[in-house]
Structure 1
Amino acid sequence: MLTLGEPTVRVLTAGEGEPLIHINGISAPAMGMAPLIAGLPDFRHILIDLPGHSLAPPYTWQGRTVRELAVDVVTGTLDALNIEQAAFVGSSLGGLFTLWTMLDAPDRVSRAAIVATPATALPGSRTIAEFDSLTSPIRGRLDEIMMRLPSPRFIARFALTEAIGARAARALSDDMLDLHRLPLRLPGQAASYRALLCRLIEGRIPRPENVLTDDELARIDTPTLFVWGEDDVFSSPDRARPSVAKIPGAHLVVVPGGHGPWFDDATRCATPVREFLSVAPVPEQERDRA
């Protein structure tokens, strides 16, 4: 565990080489990205369970803006690990946190692979019925209570279907499914999930302050790859292309699958990420001359 002032993150590491930071989606465990990580050899993989996620202690995400809190959590984790700069792989909420860090602490991110819709970051992103229910004042409290209660695996598998798709949900091993469902029974974790979700969206609409503007997209000068599942429920690749085109030098690759495309086809998802990370970054002075 790493305590960063008030919030605490849980960090797992594997492998040797240059550091590669992984940040997963809301309510999901860092180890949920294991199938993707298996296709990315020769790195020191650093998997971050964000505050209130998996086995990291609960956190209510109150006070300052979520963006400020997110960037402090990311940079504070790097500081605690004595990492000045690293490459990132961020998915869903992790993609949003990575993009915010690229804007507000650009020297900390050498390059970034954003896998799946980066939460609310890009205009036109949608939400799902589960989020609409969780952010409702009354239904949300009932949902929070239900998440804390024991339930059979098939209910958790069904609940994940809306977000990641039926094929990916069926493909999840029981162990991987348990990594997603069991932490929500721990004291405070379901409340943390709901508190963060309420600060990201209102009903089924992303809060405007969490959507990047065209000017912000144009200011990103970190090498960036977007890997997008062709059936991502939160946004289609075609809907995302205009926003990605505003980021200088960014590329978008479409792969089979939904919002967690590494669960649909880990190899097809890992290949473009591995190729992108293997290219040496252009020195800053050369980018300035370009």
Structure 2
Amino acid sequence: MTTSATPSAQQARERYLEAERRLWLDHAGREPDVHWAELPTLRSRVRLLELGEGPTLLFLHGGPSAAACWAPLVGRLAGFRCVVIERPGCGLSEPARASLSVREHGAGLLADVLADLPEPPIAVVANSFGSYLSLAHELAHPGVVARYLHFGCPAPSPGSRVPPAFVPSMIPGVNSLLRRLGTWTAESSLRNFTVMGHDREAMSRPALASFLRWYTALMTLTPTRANDQGLFARIRPRDALRPAQLAAAAVPMHFFWGRGDTFGGERSARRLTSLIAGSEVQLVDGGHLPWLDDQAGAAEFVGRVLDGR
């Protein structure tokens, strides 16, 4: 009798959950509670990971990624109830089944999650594609969210770009071919973050070991990569966030931005914040997920922005 080296769906799920559990224990000292939220607009059901007590912060990750990417930051935030959305098709969340534009997808996602929460958040905290989706929600539903904290360059947004190494993975057909031909490894994860502007040596330090193991598990044991690449490939010109639209945003926007962010560095940060009245940017040495480079600074940024709530 022969056996396959490929894990069953249940084995893959259990292995992924163990990597996720280790990441949360390392950075937060405990596992988050898990709540499943129904998303009628997107015809999906997603995981919400909840940790801490106090006023609610709602987190929205970029991609390809999942909720646990926020563990190094959430673990440092005391006095808040952190609710972390696992976007449709990412991690263990169900994919979206509604036929919407990518911009409508973002507006619908946050609208549905906000309706599920027992109380409104005092802020939405977002990164990369999550920042794009949250901005799409703000333009569709102005003023519903009190304020936004963006970590890294919103992608896509005015002044942003896709690092050349990531372009093939966004081309329909090419992305699936690349997934079939290549095997994702721990080295692939490390290389992925260096492409995003993170220092390779810094990403290799012991403090981020469980993060990289979790990310490798995410890429190999869940359909996150295929699902998000498929979503990114659907981005069309109509999904763009126009400068004139962003200029009309009346909600406070705060940016914590890595100078080495390859989706858009300091120049892009200055341009975007100049478009949004009353916005501010704090530049730090780091890449596209700047809380990985400066965990203490990222937590201090959240505390400063929300001081006095």
TM tier relative to shorter chain: 0.7 to 0.9
Q: Which residue of 1 aligns with 2:7?
A: none
Query: 1:143 is aligned with what amino acid?
Result: L
Whole-Å Cα distance in 2 between the matches of residues 135 and 246 of structure 1? Answer: 27
Q: Which residue of 1 aligns with 2:232?
A: 197
Task: Please show how residues 1-290 of structure 1 align to structure 2 within 5 Å.
Answer: 1-5=36-40, 6-59=43-96, 63-121=99-157, 123-146=158-181, 149=183, 151-167=184-200, 168-171=202-205, 173-186=208-221, 188-200=223-235, 207-280=236-309
Whole-Å Cα distance in 2 between the matches of residues 84 and 213 of structure 1? Answer: 27
Whole-Å Cα distance in 2 between the matches of residues 252 and 90 of structure 1? Answer: 14
Whole-Å Cα distance in 2 between the matches of residues 83 and 36 of structure 1? Answer: 22
Q: For each residue in 1:77-96, what CA deviation from the matched residue of structure 2 results, as whole angstroms up to 9, or x when unmatched?
A: 11112334531111111111
Query: 2:213 is aligned with what amino acid?
Result: D
Query: 1:54 is aligned with what amino acid?
Result: G
1:224 is displaced (CA, Å) by 1.2
Please, what is the CA RMSD of the aligned residues?
Answer: 2.1
CA contact (8 A) 1:58 1:189 kept: no
1:128 is displaced (CA, Å) by 1.8
Q: For each residue in 1:103-147, what CA deviation from the matched residue of structure 2 results, as whole angstroms up to 9, or x when unmatched?
A: 2122331111111001102x1211023431112344312223357
CA contact (8 A) 2:91 2:222 kept: no
Whole-Å Cα distance in 1 between the matches of residues 54 and 209 of structure 2? Answer: 31
Structure 1 unpaired stretches of 5+: 201-206, 281-290
Query: 1:90 is aligned with what amino acid?
Result: A
CA contact (8 A) 1:133 1:139 kept: yes
SS in 2 for 1:63: coil
CA contact (8 A) 2:64 2:229 kept: no
CA contact (8 A) 1:39 1:274 kept: no
SS in 2 for 1:278: coil
Whole-Å Cα distance in 1 between the matches of residues 240 and 197 of structure 2? Answer: 22
- TM (normalized to structure 1)? 0.85
Gap change, CA 1:64 and 1:155, over 3 Å in 2: closer
Runs (4+) off by over 6 Å: none
- TM (normalized to structure 2)? 0.80
CA contact (8 A) 1:27 1:180 kept: no
Whole-Å Cα distance in 1 between the matches of residues 86 and 293 of structure 2? Answer: 22
Whole-Å Cα distance in 1 between the matches of residues 96 and 218 of structure 2? Answer: 14
1:260 is displaced (CA, Å) by 1.1
Whole-Å Cα distance in 1 between the matches of residues 165 and 95 of structure 2? Answer: 21
How many residues matched? 270
% of aligned pairs identical? 29
Structure 2 unpaired stretches of 5+: 1-35
